[in-house]
Amino acid sequence: MKVNELDEGAIRDIGHAFGYYDYGGEQELAAFFPSQEATSLYIQGYVRGMLRGVFLHSTGPRNEGFIAYKLPGQKIGWRTVKLLAGGMLRSLGLSGVLRLARAMKRGGPSLRDRFDKERKPYLFVGLVCVREEFQGQGYLRRVMDLAFTEGDRLGVPVILDTDAKSKCEKYQHLGMELAGTRPFGEDGLLYDLIRYPASKATAE
Give the domains, in start order, of the chain with CATH numbers: 8-203 (3.40.630.30)
CA distances in angstroms from 201 to 58, 115, 121, 176, 182, listed in the order given: 26, 18, 16, 11, 25
Distance CA 76, CA 54 (A): 10
Span 128-147, average pLDDT = 95
Distance CA 38, CA 114 (A): 31
Closest to 66 (Cα-Cα) out of 43, 38, 33:
43
Q: How confident is the model at residue 187 (pLDDT cuts 50, 70, 90)?
A: low
- The pLDDT tens digits for 55-101 are 999 999 999 999 999 999 888 888 888 878 877 888 888 888 888 77
Per-residue pLDDT at 177: 98
According to DSSP H, which parts of 107-138 are helical? 111-117
pTM (2 decimals)? 0.88
Which has the minimum average pLDDT: 27-41, 46-60, 132-146, 161-175?
A: 27-41
**Of 152 and 19, more confident:** 152
What is the distance in angstroms between the CA of the first residue and the CA of the last residue of the chain? 31
Collect all residues with Cβ–Cβ distance below 8 Å to 33 and sequence separation of at least 6. 39, 42, 91, 92, 96
Sign for the CA dihedral angle at 78, 117, 159, 121 comes to positive
Q: How confident is the model at residue 204 (pLDDT cuts 50, 70, 90)?
A: very low
Distance CA 126, CA 28 (A): 16
Helix count and strand count (H, E) for the chain:
7, 6
Instruction: Please say if the pLDDT value at position 176 is more than 90.
Output: yes
Closest to 143 (Cα-Cα) out of 176, 112, 114, 186:
176
Distance CA 158, CA 57 (A): 15
Pairing of strands 158-162, 123-130: parallel
Spell 172-198 as b/e; 16+ CB within 10 A means b: eeebbeeeebbebbeebbbbbbbbbbe
Per-residue pLDDT at 71: 95
CA distances in angstroms from 177 to 6, 82, 152, 163, 181, listed in the order given: 32, 33, 16, 15, 12
User: What's phi and psi for 180, nearest 5 deg?
Assistant: 160, 170
